[in-house]
A and B are shown apart, each in its own frame.
Chain A
Amino acid sequence: MIDVTINGKKQPCEEGLTIVELLDSLGMNSRAIAVEINQEIQPRDTHSHVKVKDGDVLEIVTLVGGG
């Protein structure tokens, strides 16, 4: 297991997961999200091959109501 921080919360994560696999395991794989790792945006077409590493800080965001 490795440790990653997702949306400000540190949590254990299986080693070697791609972004898609991580999102699936979190139940977050929707069309309306964007992912940032260590403050770098991860384009959607990279999610199936970019792997999450120990110590990564992820932001997983969606759209909400706002002005």
Chain B
Amino acid sequence: MTDSISEEPSQALDSSTGLDEFCIAGHKFQSRLILGSGKYDSFEVMRESFEVAETECVTIAVRREKLHDSSGRNILDFVDPSRLVLLPNTAGCYDADTAVRCAKMGREILRGLENSGADWVKLEVLGDSRSLLPDPIELLKATEVLVKDGFQVLCYSSDDPIVARRLKDAGATSVMPAGSPIGSGLGVINRNSLQIILEDLKQGDPDYPVIIDAGVGTASDVAIAMELGFDGVLLNTAVARAADPIRMAEAMKYGVRAGRLAFQSGRIPQSRYASASSPEVGVISKRQQ
């Protein structure tokens, strides 16, 4: 019995961290941690969390400009688009048409900022507001339209392997199954389905990026996801709503690294019984085996 799928690490290792580069949609990242920018108590805490986590990519949302903004502060005053690749999302969209419009608006803004994330989108098309799980039919429709329009589409998906395969077939740049519902902190709850997704999507295409998106509660969840063979983790609430977001951001950084290194190292098989670590010969005890 093995807990990870087999994949030969194909990229050069960074000598300082022992980590391999993460390539997705034409971007090359040292970090495999993508952080969301929502739900922080302040922009200052958010900015420091990003720095401590050493993330190179953060998600952002597209919303109506307020007619009267009292604070006058924009998130872009705290996220430097020349240093971080922004990944706009379509959060809050419940049908394909709205999600496509939202993606185009995000692209238009990022083009104006000359951010290299302009042509990609984290596509969310939700089924209902209680579970925040994707509507697979609308998600697939929106993926097809956006791929045709030249987008690199990163699909927030459920852990259904068939849906994941259909999204890849439709041209999705990455499929990003949820570990558990958004913001739930339940971690990776359906390991078996997620492993099937990894096997399916990476079959004959080992570099196809598959990312765990949503559900992370703490650093061990991230490590588990990475040990399974995911290429990266996207999380928001687990850092933003932690009692100490900056320290949790650091924990997530190590969780990702630990999990990736463990995946690349090839874990031992699991066994029902013990296997002694010390030599079994020359023992002074008279006790029978």
Contacts and interface: CB of A to CB of B under 8 A. Distances in A.
Interface of A: 6-9, 26, 28, 30-34, 36, 39, 41, 43-44, 59-67
Contacts of B64: 7-8, 59-62
A43 B111 CA distance: 10
A66 B37 CA distance: 5
B28 interface: no
B67 A65 contact: no
Interface of B: 36-40, 46, 59-65, 67, 74-76, 86, 88-89, 91, 101, 104-106, 108-109, 111-113, 182-183, 214, 234-237
A30 B66 CA distance: 12
A38 to B, nearest CB: 11
Contacts of A43: 108
A66 B234 CA distance: 12
- In this complex, the member of B38, B61, B105 whose beta carbon has the largest number of chain A beta carbons within 10 angstroms is B105
A55 B88 CA distance: 30
B237 A63 contact: no
Contacts of A44: 108, 111-112
B38 A61 contact: no
9 contacts: A31-B112, A33-B109, A36-B105, A59-B105, A63-B62, A63-B76, A65-B39, A66-B60, A67-B59
